[in-house]
Structures are given as structure tokens and as C-alpha cells.
């Protein structure tokens, strides 16, 4: 996925081959979800046209979650905008000149979650032709959750897993403390200090412009959101949910009305303010 990973765990006796198992699981996830590996299941789907494709388990689970959030968010999150991602120079083809409006609109008409037909029970997805999946706003969180599940399967109940900046914490540290994570404020922002979060059975993810520059796309327009958001951090029951919600909020802000039923625990930093949603404030106060 073009990123890094890190696993910390606490165990009285370390099972044999933990690193080997982690690396093997990551290889499986890349083979299913990466839009940078030409032979991944995702890329093979993108090359198909007008046909039903049976997805491997990992890709099916992420697509299902992505389509669910796309519907709930009114398209602020959309797993089917790979053509737009590439057009703006954020995908595997690399940097591109800024496209004009006509080119953007042409790519947008080939994109969009509504063009996909999804048979959840059979794990089949129909490619309408020309549509490109891009799961970069959800796949890293899913990978972090899966590594934590893998460790649990080996008997390791206490761990902190990070994939590309998205984290999940289970259990406690050897000193009895929870896995503390500091959400650093973007440099030069109005956020006064890091937020310290205890990841006890929780995931956290951040989406923003302060590390890689502006790279968000509003799937509904095909352009950058232009809403002044610098970063969004979300705490949720899973890193996958946190990852996707952070992406959706970064695009949808300031209108989060469609996401309110999900009660996102989020910190939103804009050029002029820091906003903590009510669920996050309640979590910090508790």
C-alpha cells in the first residue's frame, strides 16, 4: 500500500513466528486491496468491464463497508473514485497537470458508488466499465484491525498496531496503562496541544492536508473540498470505521448532518478553528 506498519505487543511468552505471520497477512492484504500493485484483486476488478466479479474475502469486506458509508454520507465517502484520484495526480500514475472542468466531469461520470451493483451474499461486484475502485481512504484502517485480530488468534490480547498512521489498541501495556496515543496538532494550526487518547479496544485514524499536502477530493464535485479542513481525527470501535469516517468528514465539513446518526467522535482542525464533536468531548470528559 506504499506505507509503513508497526506492531507493539505485550505477552508473557511470545509465540513463534509472530513477525512472519504478520508479514504474510500484510502480503495477503496488499494482494487484495492495493491499487498500486497491478496484479491485486482490486486492480484486476478495475480492468474488468461489464461483468460480475467474485471478490476475495478481504476486498469484499472493505467494499461492503465502503458502499455502506457512501450511502450514509451522501457520497462524501466514495470507494469508486479511482479515475478522479489518478486524474488529480494522487494515484499510481503519479503527478499530473491540473485538469480542466470538462476532463474532471468526464472522469466523474465514469465514477461513483451508485454505478456499482453489489451482491453481498455471493461477494460479487459488477463492474459497469471504466469505473476504478480506490480504497486508500479505508484500507489501511482495515489492515490495522486485521493485524490485531491475527495477534489475538495467536494468544496475544495486548497490542498496539499501526498501518500508515491508522491505529488500533487492544488490552493494556505491560505497566498496566492503556495504549496511549497522542494526536499531534498540525504545525501552525490553531489546535493548542496534542490530544491524548487511550486506545482500549478502539481505533483512531486521521485524514488531512498537513503531511502530504492537499489530496482530498470531493466525489460529489470531482474537485478539492475547499472547506478549509486541515485535519480530521476520528476515534471509533475499529480502525476501519475511523479511517473511512475521517475521510468522509474531511470532505463533508461543515455539513455533517448525514453522518450524525453514526455519532462520530472527531476532532476537526480548520485554518481558523479546532472543533471537538460532542461524542469525542464526552469521551475525553469521561
Whether 160 and 11 have beta carbons less than 8 Å apart is answered as no
| CA-to-CA dists, residue 24 to 41, 134, 148, 251, angstroms | 17, 23, 14, 34
- Closest CA relative to residue 11, chosen from 156, 149, 169, 153: 156
Strand partners, 202: 169
Q: Is 137 annotated as a binding residue?
A: yes
Neighbour-count burial of 186, counting CB atoms closer than 10 A to its CB (0-12 exposed, 13-18 middle, 19+ buried): middle
Q: Is 141 annotated as a binding residue?
A: no
d(CA 96, CA 69): 29
Q: What is the CA radius of gyration of the chain?
A: 19
Q: Is 247 annotated as a binding residue?
A: yes
d(CA 175, CA 273): 36
Whether 235 and 243 have beta carbons less than 8 Å apart is answered as no
Whether 73 and 253 have beta carbons less than 8 Å apart is answered as no
Residues making up the annotated binding site are 137, 243, 247
Residues making up the annotated binding site for Mg(2+) are 137, 243, 247
Amino acid at each position: 500500500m506504499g506505507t509503513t506498519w508497526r506492531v507493539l505487543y505485550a505477552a508473557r511468552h511470545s509465540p513463534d513466528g509472530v513477525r512472519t505471520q504478520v508479514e504474510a497477512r500484510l502480503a495477503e492484504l496488499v494482494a487484495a486491496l492495493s491499487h498500486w500493485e497491478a496484479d491485486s484483486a482490486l486492480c484486476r476488478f478495475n480492468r474488468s468491464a461489464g461483468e460480475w466479479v467474485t471478490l476475495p474475502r478481504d476486498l469484499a469486506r472493505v467494499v461492503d463497508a465502503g458502499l455502506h458509508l457512501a450511502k450514509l454520507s451522501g457520497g462524501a465517502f466514495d470507494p469508486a473514485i479511482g479515475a478522479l484520484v489518478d486524474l488529480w495526480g494522487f494515484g499510481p500514475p503519479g503527478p499530473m497537470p491540473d485538469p480542466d472542468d470538462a476532463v474532471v466531469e468526464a472522469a466523474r461520470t465514469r465514477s461513483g458508488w451508485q454505478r456499482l451493483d453489489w451482491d453481498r451474499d455471493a461477494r460479487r461486484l459488477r463492474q459497469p466499465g471504466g469505473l476504478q475502485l480506490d480504497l486508500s481512504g479505508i484500507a489501511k484502517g482495515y489492515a490495522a484491525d486485521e493485524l490485531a485480530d491475527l495477534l489475538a488468534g495467536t494468544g496475544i490480547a495486548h497490542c498496539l498496531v499501526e498501518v500508515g498512521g491508522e491505529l488500533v489498541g487492544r488490552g493494556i501495556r505491560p505497566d498496566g496503562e492503556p495504549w496511549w496515543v497522542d494526536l499531534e496538532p498540525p504545525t501552525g494550526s490553531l489546535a493548542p496541544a496534542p490530544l491524548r487518547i487511550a486506545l482500549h479496544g478502539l481505533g483512531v485514524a486521521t485524514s488531512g492536508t498537513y503531511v502530504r499536502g492537499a489530496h482530498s477530493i470531493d466525489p460529489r464535485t470531482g474537485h478539492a473540498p475547499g472547506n478549509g479542513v486541515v485535519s480530521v481525527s476520528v476515534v471509533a470501535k475499529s480502525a476501519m470505521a475511523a479511517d473511512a469516517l475521517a475521510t468522509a468528514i474531511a470532505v463533508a465539513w461543515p455539513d455533517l448532518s448525514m453522518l450524525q446518526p453514526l455519532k462520530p467522535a472527531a476532532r476537526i482542525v480548520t485554518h481558523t478553528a479546532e472543533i471537538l464533536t460532542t461524542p469525542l468531548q464526552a469521551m475525553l470528559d469521561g
